[in-house]
């Protein structure tokens, strides 16, 4: 790997790159990879994510990368939704087309590359869905012993897409927020690299979303970016990507930042609204946007710090707004899972309250695919016609 350190996002303390626990030894807050970006840094030719973004990532060409073709996703201009909102420059970063249908694959590939560079032969994660599928798939591809820890409350339909890759699955009875920390500790002792939601190298993987957007817009940043937030790892990565482009002198400003949450589990948005600098545990998360229902986000405080440092805000939206936004995305041809529609719902809210302008160039990150969560499909039925074959023409005319 390229020389780098791990720096605390809160107190700034530097830690050696060998440190495996992803939190600061002094204050317990998350760590960021700190890396020198060379002069003249630019996307390179190459097929996989790590070749293309080598100048911005902590890997060397001979590091052992396992890829399934993650990243390089479309930045799709909105037609229908933009027209409805009276906007001209609304775009969707379509992360549903990743190998396991969510952005998690970027971070899994990066965190796995780090684990392999460390010589790990066992990996694991704690997840209620998308990350579990992603780590199980990459673990299978890499031929590694893979452990997936799930909460006993997981929906039945979410287990087979994990199990098909044959990891060891352990259902854990107990507090899900606490499981995040216990798994890291147990992994440290047992030699299992836990690629959890916001570990520093997972954040590096998410960084490539920002780098791609910059490139796709012709090496510019949008005016505003809207990201659904749960653990906070993806938000951190996207913001870090734009911040590093600025530090490298490749852009001269940051986009305005929006952390979007569901009102049924909004630890970041509530802390932001109340002016607190710490998230508080949400006791009974309740939202259709299951992928973003972490009740005590491990990077929540860091998301709040980033919102304060840059021009940021947090927005919580209702269940009705989420389902309506899922339908709006579909009207533009995109089918995202409920969590992936939360940014559009938040943007609509901001437009209505005057918090965002029609002339802005806005990117909503559509984080995961609609088929991930079929229970939400019940909200999207429509009337169907029936006919006999002989009556087909007549029926179509009517
Ligand atoms: C994991 C996930 C999120 C939230 O990302 P965090 O890094 O946990 O904040 C949002 N949407 C989808 C579809 C996800 O799978
Ligand atoms: Zn610290």
The per-residue pLDDT for range 174-217, each reduced to its tens digit, is 888 889 999 999 999 999 999 999 999 999 999 999 999 999 99
Predicted pLDDT of residue 177: 82
Tokens, residue 130: 């998308």
The CB of 260 under 6 Å from ligand 1? The reply is no
The position carrying tokens 């229908």 is: 80
Predicted pLDDT of residue 380: 87
Predicted pLDDT of residue 326: 97
Residue 59 region, left (φ>0) first, then alpha (ψ -120 to 50), else beta?
A: beta
In terms of DSSP bridges, do strands 5-8 and 31-34 run parallel, antiparallel, or are they unpaired?
Answer: antiparallel
Tokens, residue 5: 């350190």
Predicted pLDDT of residue 51: 92
Q: 176 with 152: CB under 8 angstroms? A: no
84 C-alpha to ligand 1 centroid (Å): 27
Q: Which chain residues have CB less than 5 Å from ligand 2, an ion?
A: 8, 10-11, 13, 24, 26-27
Predicted pLDDT of residue 147: 98
Q: 60 with 2: CB under 8 angstroms? A: yes
* Ligand 1 atom with the shortest distance to the CA of 229: 9
* Ligand 1 atom with the shortest distance to the CA of 231: 8
Give 233's contacts (C-beta < 8 A, 6+ positions apart): 107, 197, 198, 199, 202, 203, 206, 299
Residues of the chain short of pLDDT 70, as ranges, are: none
367 C-alpha to ligand 1 centroid (Å): 7
Predicted pLDDT of residue 378: 85
Predicted pLDDT of residue 249: 95
Give, using CA atoms, the residue closest to atom 13 of ligand 1. Answer: 368
The CB of 232 under 6 Å from ligand 1? The reply is yes
The CB of 326 under 6 Å from ligand 1? The reply is no
Q: 20 with 10: CB under 8 angstroms? A: no
Give, using CA atoms, the residue closest to atom 2 of ligand 1. Answer: 291
The per-residue pLDDT for range 277-291, each reduced to its tens digit, is 999 999 999 999 999
The CB of 343 under 6 Å from ligand 1? The reply is no
The per-residue pLDDT for range 267-277, each reduced to its tens digit, is 999 999 999 99
* Ligand 1 atom with the shortest distance to the CA of 336: 13
Tokens, residue 162: 């994990």
């Amino acid at each position: 790997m390229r020389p780098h350190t791990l720096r605390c996002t809160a107190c700034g303390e530097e830690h050696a790159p060998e440190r495996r626990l992803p939190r600061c030894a002094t204050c317990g807050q998350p760590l960021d990879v700190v890396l020198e970006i060379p002069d003249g840094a630019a996307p390179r030719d190459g097929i996989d994510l790590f070749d293309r973004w080598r100048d911005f990532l902590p890997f060397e060409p001979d590091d052992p990368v396992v890829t399934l073709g993650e990243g390089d996703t479309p930045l799709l201009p909105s037609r229908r939704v933009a027209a409805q909102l009276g906007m001209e420059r609304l775009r969707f970063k379509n992360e549903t087309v990743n190998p396991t249908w969510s952005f998690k694959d970027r971070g899994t590939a990066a965190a796995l590359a780090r684990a392999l560079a460390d010589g790990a032969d066992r990996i694991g994660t704690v997840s209620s869905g998308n990350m579990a599928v992603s780590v199980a798939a990459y673990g299978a591809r890499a031929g590694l012993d893979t452990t997936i820890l799930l909460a006993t409350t997981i929906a039945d339909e979410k287990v087979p897409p994990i199990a098909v890759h044959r990891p060891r699955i352990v259902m854990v009875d107990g507090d899900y927020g606490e499981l995040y920390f216990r798994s890291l500790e147990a992994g440290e002792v047992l030699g299992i690299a836990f690629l959890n939601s916001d570990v520093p190298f997972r954040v590096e993987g998410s960084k490539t979303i920002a780098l791609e957007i910059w490139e796709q817009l012709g090496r510019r940043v949008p005016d505003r970016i809207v990201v659904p937030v749960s653990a906070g790892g993806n938000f951190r990565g996207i913001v870090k990507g734009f911040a590093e482009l600025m530090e490298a002198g490749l852009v001269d400003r940051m986009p305005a930042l929006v952390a979007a949450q569901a009102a049924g589990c909004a630890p970041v948005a509530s802390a932001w609204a109340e002016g607190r600098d710490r998230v508080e545990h949400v006791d009974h998360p309740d939202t259709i946007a299951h992928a973003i229902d972490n009740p005590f986000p491990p990077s929540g405080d860091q998301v709040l710090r980033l919102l304060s440092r840059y021009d940021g805000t947090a927005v919580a939206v209702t269940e009705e707004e989420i389902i309506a936004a899922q339908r709006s995305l579909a009207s533009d041809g995109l089918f995202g899972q409920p969590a992936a529609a939360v940014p559009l719902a938040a943007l609509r809210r901001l437009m209505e309250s005057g918090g965002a302008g029609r002339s802005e160039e806005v990117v909503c990150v559509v984080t995961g695919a609609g088929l991930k969560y079929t229970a939400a499909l019940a909200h999207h039925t429509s009337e169907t016609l029936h006919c006999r074959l002989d009556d087909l023409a007549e029926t179509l005319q009517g």
